[in-house]
């Protein structure tokens, strides 16, 4: 949804924009193509591979950091953004590099760190956390059916030998992988571990709070999500100003929230895009703008 996200975001060709998930640079390049020489883009990524592989443009500033700190950098650079874009999916480079451990398609080390200097890996979690904690991760972050039984299987398997690779994990939980549909369960398991390793939901909450405070009045926020946990948080924040969806009203009965939705329903990818990239099938794009000060 490159064109949809860029066209929704850019309202001022001379504005200051942020792409907080640089990845392969596709969205940043799209932003740069829509702004003039007077505009600029600040791009974030916590994956050093993305930063090292980036292109150069005099209007582009690249930052190797987590997007949760956007408000800190807005203050550092003394800017208020005309638009902020976040594409929350794992990059194709991360998925397609076996040693990064993001995909169950390869028998590779269970790493999953978006920042390779991060403290813990997925293997660390599987081998050191209590079964009850592994159950919580699988249930809350992956919505895995039978999370307790799966955590028990993992605990039993690691008694014999550490779970170090995706092959080790697949073998440990093979009793719970339905024939012909193994990938559906594995996708949930890997999602849960990745979210825990990278603290993704907490980072998303901090990002949304900071982004709202870093936008100009009328500035746009565009967020692309890929699973229900993220989408619910974004939807709640736009509506209520918090990720829990707790609505507070002022003395006039108006909802107290810094943003307002631009599109009532999320934008979803066209069938042609899904056919070209099956990873896009679960994507939802939400657009909001900063309310006028009251």
Cα–Cα distance, 111 to 109 (Å, whole number): 6
| 87: nearest Cα among 257, 234, 240 | 234
User: What does the DSSP assignment read for 123-167?
Assistant: HHHHHHS-HHHHHHHHHHHH--TTHHHHHHHHHHHHHHS---BHH
Cα–Cα distance, 238 to 233 (Å, whole number): 9
pTM over 0.85: yes
Tens-digit pLDDT profile for the chain (294 aa)? 889 999 999 999 999 999 999 999 999 999 999 999 999 999 999 888 889 989 999 999 999 999 999 999 999 999 999 999 999 977 655 655 665 666 777 788 999 898 877 779 999 999 999 999 999 999 999 999 999 999 999 999 999 999 999 999 999 999 999 998 888 999 999 999 999 999 999 999 999 999 999 999 999 999 999 999 999 999 999 999 999 999 888 887 788 899 999 998 999 988 888 888 777 788 999 999 999 875
Q: What is the pLDDT of residue 82?
A: 98
Cα–Cα distance, 1 to 270 (Å, whole number): 8
| 35: nearest Cα among 13, 67, 9, 68 | 13
User: What does the DSSP assignment read for the chain?
Assistant: -HHHHHHHH-S-TT-EEEES--TTSHHHHHHHHHS-TT-EEEEE-S-HHHHHT----TTEEEE-S-GGGHHHHHHHTT--EEEEEEE-SPPHHHHH-GGG---TTS--B----SSTT-S--HHHHHHHS-HHHHHHHHHHHH--TTHHHHHHHHHHHHHHS---BHHHHHHHTGGGS-TT-HHHHHHHHHHHHHHHHHTHHHHHHHHHHHHHHHEEEEEEEEEEE-SHHHHHHHHHHHHHSSTT----B-TTS-B--SEEESSSS-B---HHHHHH-GGGGG-EEEEEEEPPP-
Q: What is the pLDDT of residue 116?
A: 76
Cα–Cα distance, 258 to 239 (Å, whole number): 9
Q: What is the pLDDT of residue 89?
A: 74
Quick one: 38 exposed, middle or buried, by C-beta within 10 A (0-12, 13-18, 19+)? Answer: exposed
Residue 109's Cβ-side half-sphere holds a number of Cα atoms within 13 Å equal to 9
């Amino acid at each position: 949804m490159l064109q949809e996200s860029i066209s929704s975001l850019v309202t001022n060709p001379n504005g200051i924009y942020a792409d907080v998930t640089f990845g392969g640079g596709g969205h940043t390049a799209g932003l740069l193509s829509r702004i003039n020489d007077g505009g600029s883009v600040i791009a974030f990524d916590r994956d050093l591979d993305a930063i090292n592989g980036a292109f150069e443009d005099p209007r582009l500033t690249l930052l190797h950091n987590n997007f949760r700190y956007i408000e800190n950098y807005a203050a550092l650079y003394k800017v208020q953004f005309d638009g902020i874009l976040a594409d929350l999916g794992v990059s194709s480079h991360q998925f397609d590099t076996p040693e990064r451990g993001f995909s169950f398609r390869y028998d590779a080390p269970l790493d999953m760190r978006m920042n390779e200097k991060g403290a813990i890996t997925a293997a660390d979690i599987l081998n050191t956390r209590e079964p009850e904690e592994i159950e919580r991760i699988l249930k809350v972050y992956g919505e895995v059916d039978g999370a307790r039984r799966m955590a028990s299987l993992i605990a039993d398997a690691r008694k014999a030998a550490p779970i170090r690779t995706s092959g080790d994990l697949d073998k440990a939980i093979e009793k719970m992988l339905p024939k012909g549909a193994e990938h559906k369960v594995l996708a949930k398991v890997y999602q849960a571990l990745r979210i825990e390793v990278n603290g993704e939901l907490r980072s998303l909450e901090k990002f949304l709070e900071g982004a709202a405070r870093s936008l100009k009045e009328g500035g746009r926020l565009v967020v692309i999500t890929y699973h229900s946990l993220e989408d619910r948080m974004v939807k709640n924040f736009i509506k209520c100003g918090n990720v829990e969806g707790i609505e507070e009203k002022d003395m006039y009965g108006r909802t107290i929230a810094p943003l307002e939705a631009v599109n009532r329903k999320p934008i979803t990818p066209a069938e042609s895009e899904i056919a070209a990239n099956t990873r896009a099938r679960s994507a939802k794009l939400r657009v909001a703008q900063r309310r006028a000060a009251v």
